[in-house]
Structure 1
Amino acid sequence: MTDLATHPIATRFPPEHPERLQLYSAPTPNGAKVSIMLEETGVPYEPHYVAIGENETWTPEFLALNPNGKIPAIIDPDGPGGRPLALFESGAILLYLAEKTGRLLPADPAARWETVQWVMWQMGAVGPLFGQLGFFHKFKGREIEDPRPKERYRAEAERLLKVIETRLEGRDWIMGADYTIADIALLGWVRTVVGYYEAGDIVGWDALSRTPAWLERGLARPAVQRGLTIPSQS
């Protein structure tokens, strides 16, 4: 990619610290994955709040960074080989930062791929399904009289939470004793479905024990607490 100084995104979000990794995001479940990871690893970065509600992801400047028009996205001026690297998709960014820092991804090849598998599961299942449940339970989807769409996503969200519950048997974290990017990928979404979406009572949250305890452990981490509020709107 071109240098940050000549990238279109820099005209909309001028960097104060161009030598740092640039984060373009909002504190949503997907956006928080990256800010939490950056806080956990200590990588110097500069956050830029992207106003999703004002369609800021669909501006030409943002689309030049992410043609899919979604947050989060990053530019690392010190990418592989010391060259700038632009990335979008939260799962890809988690893997990149884990590789860059040597943190929160097991070195053992088998455990490494097992961790990646859980990140991919979150990306392909938990995020999309929880998001759809939120739409039908809390937002404009409530206006749809046909109950079948909401029930489909409700039942699937309940099933996915049970997958996490089963996985956590005998484990503090998704991968066992060690907190990893698999936990980071999941924490924001589980928090959102029972908190912001207010769907806990319809997805069997009270019937779970290990998953709420895992969520409480994750939310107690200072880096998670910080990351959930970054970037701030002000």
Structure 2
Amino acid sequence: MADVTLYHWEPNANSGKPMLALAEKGVAFDSHYIDMLKFDQHQPEYLAVNPQGTIPAMTHSGPWGERVLTESTAIMEYVDEAFDGPSLMPADPQDRWRVRWWMKFMDQWLGPSFSMIGWCTFVGPSLAHKSEEEREAMIARIPLPERRAAWRKAMFAEFSESELAESSRRIAKGVALLEEELGKREYVASNQYSLADINIFNSTYMLPVGNADLCSPELTPNIWRWLKTVYRRPAVQETWAMGSGRFTDRFNAIMGDFV
């Protein structure tokens, strides 16, 4: 049995980051699927692992006992440093700085905008069939107040027009910056595939479908080239084969155009 256990949802966004890092390093792990739309992350069994009720989370057992790791980007860095396999950080100090710059940009600035649009167009509608009482009960189980507020907005379609417009503006700006950066080198942060590529790919893999007005072979040839390169990686295809929901269906549908 593997000494690594990963608690995750579908292999995209935050859950996909440690899943893909582990696959790239060749690390076997026990997979515990946490259905976010059923609020498995707020059930007592999972809260015993991560009391904050956020996903993903990873445990790593060894002579030291059991380590519990949370926060997807930090887990990726741990995976790269704790296990053998190809390095996911470049050797050059400036390239390493660039990896961390892009991961921070994605996590703190661009990623939340992707999330808001996704919550508005997918997560909220996926729970709309539940009664108001059921949704209120689900929200009440969320440990963190800021997550309760975010889930309430998604469940009851409370995102304002100005919030959605700002998210759309940030996505357009982020796509333009990424296109510019990928015109300078093969991958986002260096000419070596790195944690920056894993981080960004897991939130941008559907750009050609969800944001066709921003990303296409004509509009963003550098992003298009990069997406095709990442889609073809065996670890990416292996990771996405672990999915079971709508995200995986969409991934498989577009992969035929890229592979």
| TM-score of the alignment, normalized to the shorter chain, above 0.5 | yes
* Helix, strand or coil at the partner of 2:105: helix
Higher relative contact order (CA 8 A, sep 6+): 1
The residue number in structure 2 matching 1:92 is 74
- Runs of 5+ in structure 2 lacking a partner? 126-153, 246-259
Equivalence for 1:164: 178
Alignment match, 1:113: 97
Shift, 1:122, TM fit = 1.5
**Once the two structures are superposed, what CA deviation does each residue of 1:124-147 show, in whole Å capped at 9, x if it has no partner?**
122211111223455557967964
Greater Cα offset, 52-61 or 100-109: 100-109
SS of 2:206 mapped into structure 1: helix
Distance 1:89 1:208, change over 3 A: same
- 3-state SS of the aligned residue for 1:77? strand
Q: 1:135 to 1:54 in 2, by over 3 A?
A: closer
Aligned 1:1-234 pairs, distance under 5 A: 17=1, 19-27=2-10, 28-78=12-62, 82-101=64-83, 103-137=87-121, 139-140=124-125, 147-195=161-209, 198-201=210-213, 204-206=214-216, 207-230=219-242, 232=244
TM-score, normalisation: structure 1? 0.80
Residues 176-198 of structure 1: CA deviation (Å, up to 9, x unaligned): 21000000001010013444xx2
List runs of 5+ in structure 1 lacking aligned partners. 1-16
- Cα pair 2:80 2:88 within 8 Å, conserved: yes
Distance 1:49 1:229 in 2: 13
Q: Which amino acid aligns with 2:4?
A: L
What is the deviation of 1:121? 1.6
The 8 Å contact of residues 23 and 48 in structure 1, kept in 2 or not, is answered as: yes
Give the conservation status (yes or no) of the 8 Å contact 2:96–2:189: no
**185 and 145 in structure 1: CA distance in 2 versus 1, 3 angstrom threshold:** closer
Query: How many angstroms apart in 2 are the aligned matches of 1:127 and 1:155?
Result: 13
- Read off the aligned partner of 1:114 and give its amino acid letter: R
1:116 offset after TM fit, Å? 1.9
User: Which segment is superposed worse, 88-97 or 55-64?
Assistant: 55-64
Matched letter for residue 22 of structure 1? T
1:86–1:232: structure 2 CA closer, same or farther, 3 Å change rule?
Answer: farther
Measure the CA separation in 2 of the matches of 1:149 and 1:29: 20
For the residue of structure 2 that corresponds to 1:76, the secondary structure is strand
* Distance in 1 separating the partners of 2:111 and 2:242: 19
Specify the code of the residue in structure 1 equivalent to 2:42.
Answer: W
TM-score, normalised by the number of residues in structure 2? 0.73
Shift of 1:112: 2.3
Which amino acid counterpart does residue 193 of structure 2 have in structure 1?
A: Y
How many residue pairs are counted as aligned between the two chains?
Answer: 210
What's the offset of the Cα at 1:167?
1.0
User: Any conservation in 1 of the 2:8–2:15 contact (CA below 8 Å)?
Assistant: yes
Q: In structure 2, what is the Cα distance between the partners aligned to 1:43 and 1:85?
A: 16
